[in-house]
Amino acid sequence: MAASSSNSTRLLLAMAALCVAAVGIALGSQHVFDMQPCPWCILQRLIYLAIAALCLMGAAVSAGLVRRGIGVLTLLLALSGAASGLYQHLVASKSASCNLTFADKVISALGLDGAFPPLLQVTANCSDAAVSVLGVPYAYWSVALFTVMAAASMRVVLRAP
């Protein structure tokens, strides 16, 4: 049982590190390579940061039920992140404006864009933010990482003592 708890702790810490790294890469893309974010990009950043925070909380506790709950929450967030990435690429990137979309409304309602502009301020519309890295749409890279987060979350749920 102690080995399972230790494995879950390492997995949660790795998940948190990957999520923070994803946001760091997005910031680098924005501020170094001038790849400006749309509302869907910012929403995905928020989801990565929420997953990272939950994973750090989960790593700090040893109670199996709490870890399972955190695993379920991170799974739901990862699935919503994957859905937002798919929506961004398949629907939003084809429109001229992201104004008043679900992502735009969430960001405005939370007011975080004004609180942390370098990290959470929308600076592009969806069609302008549709870029590729190594021939793969940026949104699909995000979908892939959210899928990894979902699989890891399932492991946390199933491994929690």
- Cβ neighbour number for residue 68 with a 10 Å cutoff: 18
In 3-state terms the chain splits into helix, strand, coil percentages (rounded to 5) of 75, 0, 20
pLDDT at residue 1, rounded to an integer: 47
Q: What is the pLDDT along the chain (161 residues), one digit of tens a residue?
A: 456 678 899 999 999 999 999 999 999 999 998 889 989 999 999 999 999 999 999 999 988 889 999 999 999 999 999 999 999 999 988 877 776 788 888 988 888 778 888 888 888 887 777 788 889 999 999 999 999 999 999 999 998 66
Classify domain 2-159 by CATH number. Answer: 1.20.1550.10
Residues in the chain: 161
pLDDT at residue 42, rounded to an integer: 93
Predicted TM-score of the model (pTM): 0.92
Q: Per-residue DSSP letters for 122-143?
A: --S-TTTT--EETTEEHHHHHH
113: its two tokens: 């864009």
Coil/strand/helix, residue 161: coil
* Domain coordinates in residue numbering, the chain: 2-159
b/e per residue 2-21 (b: at least 16 CB within 10 A):
eeebeebbebbbebbebbbe
pLDDT at residue 142, rounded to an integer: 96
Q: Which residues pair with 136 in a beta bridge?
A: 133
> What amino acid is encoded at 59 in this protein?
A
